[in-house]
Chain A
């Protein structure tokens, strides 16, 4: 039960929802940039949300399936195809063995996720499957996927092959996740005010909400470097290092902003202007260099409400998908 990377993409890594509990050792959380898409890929294939998935950037890989599998692709739309036939995203698909999955054209978004029913066979490091590229450990050998890598997936008690109803290379299962709301208004990003917000000049606080910021090409999994109006504190401030989080907006000494992303360091010493709300991190993770961002400040209670709403939706999908899968396996047995 395995897949083989026959052609690597630019940056394909094993990720999960992150490595928590190690911050005091300087070990960052890492994990999928778009946690929502990664979790949904697992949910749609009937996995635990914390199973390992492959995070795919564009140009993507070519992946050979050595066995029949039930898979789901979520996140960015890289026009996934199986032996040149287009595959749907956000929908579980049965795949025949000896087929090749590829991602020919980048249409929308920045990261796609691939989950396989059962999950990939990966050793956990400090209780997580995520790849820590900086330390060279975790995930698949601590590195991105390369040509010839053969990754096994866990044998499921449920026989995927028995679900095929035709000789086709793939078969689309009947349900899909309606995820419209999560990625709506992709450029409008909400944040809560950070501790040094009050220390910005009035012009700066106005500029932050009233002008566009563009994601620079130097952005990566560690952080999004932004181009836009330069912001300034009313008085220069020397800071000692303090913990930062996924979504923290830091003000650099040159007046530019950087938004810390999944692979951010545990601590930082720059003024914290704001923090992107969790519910908007998925859409932020799907923006690309050159895209613009419009920031909007909201209060912590509203940020929490949005987080709970998204969590609640995830739980509903989780139950619904589990039921759907149970029913088709049951249908088949009868």
Chain B
């Protein structure tokens, strides 16, 4: 349910049940924190990654090949 909550909002009653359970379940709190941390870490990785991907380009060889194919077949 903790993991599920990260993907879409739970119904009101399930949300209340989750909160109540978390209040008494120490391990679940730990688990919840871990998932949150995974998400935060992933996002910070993602920022670096997207900067790296922004710089990536299709190889010149492939571009040339496609361009040539288009010229001949258009």
Binding partners A and B: no
